[in-house]
Chains A and B, each alone.
Chain A
Amino acid sequence: MAEVALNGIGKRFGATEVIRDLTLSVRDGERFALLGPSGSGKSTLLHLIAGLEAPSSGCILFDGRDVTALQPRERDVALVFQSYALYPHMTVADNLAFPLRVAKRGARPDRRTIQQAVRRVADSLGLGSVLERRPGELSGGQRQRVALGRAIIRQPAVFLLDEPLSNLDVQLRADMRAELRRLHEQLKITMIYVTHDQIEALTLADRVAVLDQGRLQQVGTPAELYQTPANLFVATFIGHPAMNLLEALLDDGTVTSGPIRIPLPTTQAERLRARNTRTVTLGLRPEQIRVAAWETRARAEEDRLPATVREIESTGAQTWATCELAAQNPPVIVGLAEEALRIKPGATAALSFRAARPHLFDPMTGLRLGEEAS
């Protein structure tokens, strides 16, 4: 168990800068996710923590101890690879026992202890019946479990996972997510998890770090990332369908984009008063926009705007409607359809907005406006 701290980490491969001046700290026993699109440097970061690569600048601390110059074997970490990287010539039992067998002379357990450890790990992961098989004879889910078992058998201080579920089908993935959560409850090991899948990050992690192009964008709990994204990248990367971004003007406590007018809460308006320019980027999550059939709107609701429905996308529980709204830039907006059955492409719909605290961003810097990002 360890607290992991990265201080001003940079990594270049030749002329390409993969990670730039990254500072981050993962608490002891925390489930932490590194989330980002491919090429964001998250796997490289994991290799740096494991000691497979050395950072070009900065240092890495485990519980305050500088491990930057240490070999992987001296760091007491375990890593589960996306491809599992099981040893093809060894049986499942030998794969599981390997980290114990190659331990340093003083720390190497005897034969009986190793056998017992293999038994225990195999039983807890449901691998008891395949111990004598080779990796080539296992299903994808079983290989994944062997890879997990090989990582936890040594009870490492830090448990690293590199896209561990991306090779599994959807059903198995949900099972393994639950399994990972159960393992973590049991072992209470610091767990750092790399993924490009926001669902995985948000459901599995206590805190998530969002990376883009080797830079840290935001660190926070899943709720913080969703409710107060620090910049436009986080705002659009997290949430599906993506947040609507509109060009807007700020005018005395109201934000206006074409026909859309949204009043701001007083605290937010106060904070924005000091700004020089009035142009902002308004971010509206699709679920903050309700799309209803035009005929069913109540007379009293004057704030409803007419729009033309362009596309309908149903995800089962929810139906998302892409609507075209005149005189607003961009003219297309995605909202949550009410009474899904009555809304058809081409029909006129009534839009209403339920954004008590709309997301506002600086169009130049992309940073969040009006309140401190957490």
Chain B
Amino acid sequence: MTVPGRIKRAGDLGWRLGRILALGLFVSWALGPLAWQGITSIKSEQELVRLPPLLPETPTATHYRTVTARSGLGREILNSIIVATSATVSAIAVAALCAFALARLPIAGKTTILSLLLGISMFPPVAVISPLYLLVRWLGLRDTLAALILTHTAYALPLAIWVLTVFFRQIPVELYWAARVDGCGPWRALWSVLIPPARPGLAAAALLAFIFSWNEFMFALTLTATDRSRTAPVAIALFPSLHEVPWGDMAAATLVVTAPVIALALAFQRHLLAGLTAGSIKG
């Protein structure tokens, strides 16, 4: 009688070990580069180009000091914050209206519109970069934050519309009907009845838009010229000079720039996991 039990337990153990191994692999794959940046950022110049040691013998904060002392980076992080925040807010505002229309209003060709959106989001950005550059110059927006905000909004929209359409559709249609019968026009129904239960969806879409805009490199590089409008990723990429690549400084700057996004993701986690429509209908 004990034999099958033992076999089962052994199987359990194998299963558990396998799971731990898989998780470990995944975590090191995801966090490895970040850890490597962390190590690099606290190594002294001499240790940077040597291996071993893997870990620095004398950790140093020089790189962080250099980065914070550097004149431009503060301005460039501020630019990033302005661009990412504005692009997120405008993308979510427009996407919420689009998604509401696609989910609840009687309009023709909903499926066509949605597949068109998906098609646009799959379009490689590099294909539009030169016409976009000409357009921005013609509009007189070259080297302005507005150019980046507009571009990032446009590129964040398709995904945001998709995410929000799905979320709005998950909210029972009776809620919308009830709001209409209770006396709401479409605007009020959207604001008072659909937006609040869709908050997790809005948070998810906003986070995706923000991370996209924060990390976006190619448009930011092409459409900016000076630190008047340059964003943080571009600034870091411009660290290397003709004769040397300051790996330590770049690693430190990368971590400084990544920190806000991580903080944001952790802060939004609660909203992302919040229940969608608990208790609105039976059950």
A123-147 vs B, Cβ < 8 Å mask (1 yes, 0 no)? 0000000000011111010010000
User: Chain A's interface: helix, strand, loop or mixed, by majority?
Assistant: loop
Q: Is A237 an interface residue (CB 8 A)?
A: no
Contacts of B175 in A (CB 8 A): 85, 87-88
Bound together, the chains give a CA A90 to CA B74 distance in angstroms of 43
Docked pose: A135 CA to B280 CA in angstroms: 6
B177: chain A residues at CB < 8 Å are 47, 50, 52, 79, 81, 85
Size bin of chain A's contact surface: 20 to 34
Q: Are A88 and B181 in contact (CB under 8 A)?
A: no
- Asked whether, in the complex, the Cβ of B178 is within 8 Å of the Cβ of A81, the reply is yes
Which of A78, A136, A143 contacts B181 (CB under 8 A)? A78
Q: A136's contact among B193, B196, B278, by CB below 8 Å, is which?
A: B278
Residues 236-281 (chain B) with a chain A CB within 8 angstroms: 277-281
B8 within 8 A of A: no
Tell me if B60 counts as interface (CB < 8 A to partner A): no
Q: Which residue of A lies closest to B277 (CB)?
A: A88
Measured CA separation A292–B193 after assembly (Å):
62
Cα distance, A150 to B175, chains bound together (Å) = 13
Q: Which residues of A contact B280 (CB under 8 A)?
A: 84-88, 135-136
Q: Let me know if A140 and B278 touch, CB within 8 A.
A: no
Question: Which residues from 98 to 146 on chain B have a C-beta closer than 8 Å to any C-beta of chain A?
Answer: none
Q: A99 contacts which of B174, B183, B196, B278 (Cβ < 8 Å)?
A: B183
- Alpha-carbon distance A252/B70, docked complex (angstroms): 114
The 8 A CB mask of A263-281 against B (1 = contact, 0 = none) is 0000000000000000000
Quick check: B183 and A102 within 8 Å, CB to CB? yes
Given the complex, which residues of A lie within 8 Å of B228, measured CB to CB?
none
What is the CA–CA distance of A165 and B113 in the complex, to the nearest angstrom? 39
**Known contacts A52-B181, A79-B177, A79-B181; is-contact A102 B188 (Cβ 8 Å):** yes
B-chain residues with CB within 8 Å of residue A98 when the two chains form the complex = 179, 182, 192
**A1–chain B nearest beta-carbon distance, Å:** 17
Query: In the complex, which residues 171-200 of chain B have their Cβ closer than 8 Å to any Cβ of chain A?
Result: 172, 174-175, 177-185, 188, 192-193, 196-197
Chain B residues with CB under 8 Å of A69's CB are none
Given A50-B181, A83-B174: A88 in contact with B282 (beta carbons within 8 A): no
CB closest residue in chain A, given B184:
A102
User: What's the tally of chain B residues with a CB closer than 8 Å to chain A?
Assistant: 23
Q: Are A83 and B183 in contact (CB under 8 A)?
A: no
> What is the chain B residue whose CB lies nearest that of A104?
B183
Judged by a CB distance under 8 angstroms, whether A115 is at the interface is no
A88 with B278: in contact, given A73-B183, A102-B184, A103-B183 (CB under 8 Å)? yes
Other-chain contact of B279, A82, A135, A167 (Cβ < 8 Å) = A135
By CB atoms of chain B within 10 A, which of A87, A104, A140 has the most?
A87
The answer to whether B182 touches A89 (Cβ under 8 A) is: no
Residues in A neighbouring B282, C-beta threshold 8 A: 83-84, 140, 143, 167
| Bound CA–CA A154/B184 (angstroms) | 13
CB neighbours of A148 from chain B (8 A): none
Q: Does A56 contact B (CB under 8 A)?
A: no
Give the shortest distance, in Å, between B128 (CB) and chain A (any CB).
38
A264 to B208, CA, bound (A): 79
Interface residues in A90-107 by Cβ distance below 8 A to B read 98-99, 102-104
Asked if B174 and A134 make an inter-chain contact with CB atoms under 8 angstroms apart, the answer reads: no
Given A85-B177, A87-B175: A102 and B279 interface contact (C-beta under 8 Å): no
Give chain B nearest CB distance to A97 CB in angstroms.
10
Cross-chain contact A89 with B196 (CB below 8 angstroms): yes
The chain B residues found within 8 Å of chain A, CB to CB, are 172, 174-175, 177-185, 188, 192-193, 196-197, 277-282
Please name 5 pairs of A and B residues whose Cβ atoms are closer than 8 Å in the assembled complex, sorted by A.
A72-B180, A88-B175, A88-B278, A136-B278, A136-B280
The 4 nearest A-B residue pairs measured at CB: A136-B279, A88-B280, A85-B174, A85-B178
